[in-house]
Each structure stands twice: as structure tokens, then as C-alpha cells.
Structure 1
Amino acid sequence: MRYLFLLFAALLPALAQAQAPAVLYQQIAWADSSVFAAFNRCDSLAYKPFFAPDLEFYHDLGGLTTGRQLEMKSFREMCARGSHIRRELVKGTLEVHPLKGYGAVEIAVHRFYHTNKGQAEKLSGTYKFIHVWQRTATGWRITRVISYGHEDMKND
């Protein structure tokens, strides 16, 4: 019995480490789902808290944009145009990695769909992204975004 206890005690740190990434993965998957559910509904009140005031957004074609106000302005403009944009995470692509003492990095692929007035929804494109998530006292928020893989958009 003593050996079983010693074996369990020796394995406990490894078991704790194995659990932490699963919990972190679930938290980031939930945060990603929540922010983009709000995005898909054009719900800026639910969307805004997920972004840090000093947000940096790096786009392979558009370059760097900064600040939550810039991000919220473009979000409001997109929703006011009358066309609908929907984002969908590609199943099986989500990776979550811890950033010690800060939060997590999310890497995945997502698709965007557009619906213009009077038209059927159509796929706009499939792109790759990296989100740096910071864990705060009030929850998770995105501080950095890298969006890439937009080569097909150059010809649009």
C-alpha cells in the first residue's frame, strides 16, 4: 500500500499538468466561440470586452492596426453595411498553448461567409489566425491578432 501511495504521489504532478492544458483548451475554445457568436450577431456590447484597449491586429495584406477603438469602428461599419458576415472555426484546427504567467496562444483556421442583401450566403475565404489571449481578473481578452493566408484576396 505504501508503494501505491508513493507511486500516486510521484504521478500527481504529471496528472495535474495533463489536466491544465485540457482546461485551458476548453476555456479558450469557449472564449473563441463567445467572441465570434457576438461577431456573427453584430453584438458589439458582447464583442467589445474580449479585446484589450491596446489591441494589435496584424494582417498579411493590410498591415498593422492598433487599438480597440479602431477595431470597434470597423466592426460597426461592417454591421451597418447591410451585408452579413459570419465566421466559422474549422473543426479540428484549434490549437491552444499556454503562455506562462500571461495567458494562452490560439492557432487555428477559420472561414468567413458573406450574405449580401437579397442573395444567398457564400464562402468568402478560409484563413489562418493566431490570437494571443490574456487572462485577466474579469476573464479572457485578446491582445494580439495575426491574420494570414489571404493570398487569394489580392485578386479581388
Structure 2
Amino acid sequence: MDKKTHKFKTFFLPFLLILGLNLTQAQEKKVAPTSQELYNEIAAMDTVLFDAFNTKDMAKFKPLFDENLEWYQDNGGLLSYETVFTNFEKMFKNENKLTRQLVKGSLEIHPIKDFGAIETGIHQFRHIENGKEEIGTFKFMAIWKKVNNQWKISRMISYDH
């Protein structure tokens, strides 16, 4: 047996076996399944959030976000709570009839242990521009935090614009 073969058998072969075992064990780990109760709660919060958005009801909309909100947008960067709501206040004053609708079947909910939930999906925004309806379809991820039995969004990621 030459030195290379010996080195492979004594070092790399056991290393590969250990790596293989670790990968097998890693694949066996199970994430906590999403309960129907959690799914229903977050789906309901999504409806509350965007009913307030669609009716431009800032009094109902704003309290659904944590004051330490971080809003990430692929074409706008990281936005603070203050910036987000300054932008929404301006947007709500526009007459372009902007509305949001969740794309049916796109909603996914995943639990975050001892914190809340991840919501992902696809939504469409519609508005009137130059007399015709414009429709944009985008992806989103919201991190919902449950505090004192109330759900609030602590992080929002809007992408694929």
C-alpha cells in the first residue's frame, strides 16, 4: 500500500464516515409541525392586517407592528418603523385605490419556538395609474411575535419586485 492510499484509509475514510453519519442524523431532525390553530391565527392576522391596509385604516393597521420593526425591501433596503409609517401615511392619502390581495394557496405558516411564527406567501397589489389598473405580484415574509396574547409583526421582508 502506498502512502497516499494509507493516508486516505487512515484519515479521510473515517472522516467521510463520520460526515455521512452526521448528515444522516441532520436529515432525521424534525421541525415542529404547524398546528392548525397557529395556521388559522396567523391567516386571520393577515386578513386583519390587509383589511386595515385596503381600507386605509391607520388606527387598526399601525398597532399590528412591533415598535422595533425592521422592514426589508429588495429595492428599498432596510426601513425603520418611523420610515415605514411615514411612507404608509403618504400612501394612504393617495387616490390611486391601492389594494392588496393574498394569492390563493400561497400562504405558509411555520412556528418559531418560544417566539411566534413565520408567514410567507405571494400577494398582489392593485392600483389605478393613468386611468388603468396596474397589478404587481410580489413575495413576502413576515415574522410574527406574540406578546401578551397579541400578534405583532417584528420583521417584514418584501421581495421579488
Q: State TM-score, norm by structure 2.
A: 0.76
How many residue pairs end up in the alignment? 130
Give the match for residue 122 of structure 2. 109
Q: How does 1:1-156 map to 2 (within 5 A)?
A: 21-67=35-81, 69-116=82-129, 119-120=131-132, 122-150=133-161
Deviations 1:36-78 (A, max 9, x none): 00000000000011001111011111111012x2222111101
Radius of gyration: which is bigger?
Answer: 2
- Across the aligned residues of Structure 1 and Structure 2, the Cα RMSD in angstroms comes to 1.7
2:35 alignment partner, SS class: helix
Deviation at 1:116, TM superposition (A): 4.6
1:61 alignment partner, SS class: coil
Report % sequence identity. Answer: 38
- C-alpha distance in 1 between matches for 2:76 and 2:85: 17
- C-alpha distance in 1 between matches for 2:86 and 2:76: 16
- C-alpha distance in 2 between matches for 1:139 and 1:48: 13
Question: Structure 1 regions of 5+ residues with no counterpart?
Answer: 1-16, 151-156
Deviations 1:56-102 (A, max 9, x none): 011111111012x2222111101112221100000000000000000
Question: Structure 2 regions of 5+ residues with no counterpart?
Answer: 1-31
Q: Is the Cα contact below 8 Å between 1:84 and 1:116 reproduced in 2?
A: no
Q: State TM-score, norm by structure 1.
A: 0.78
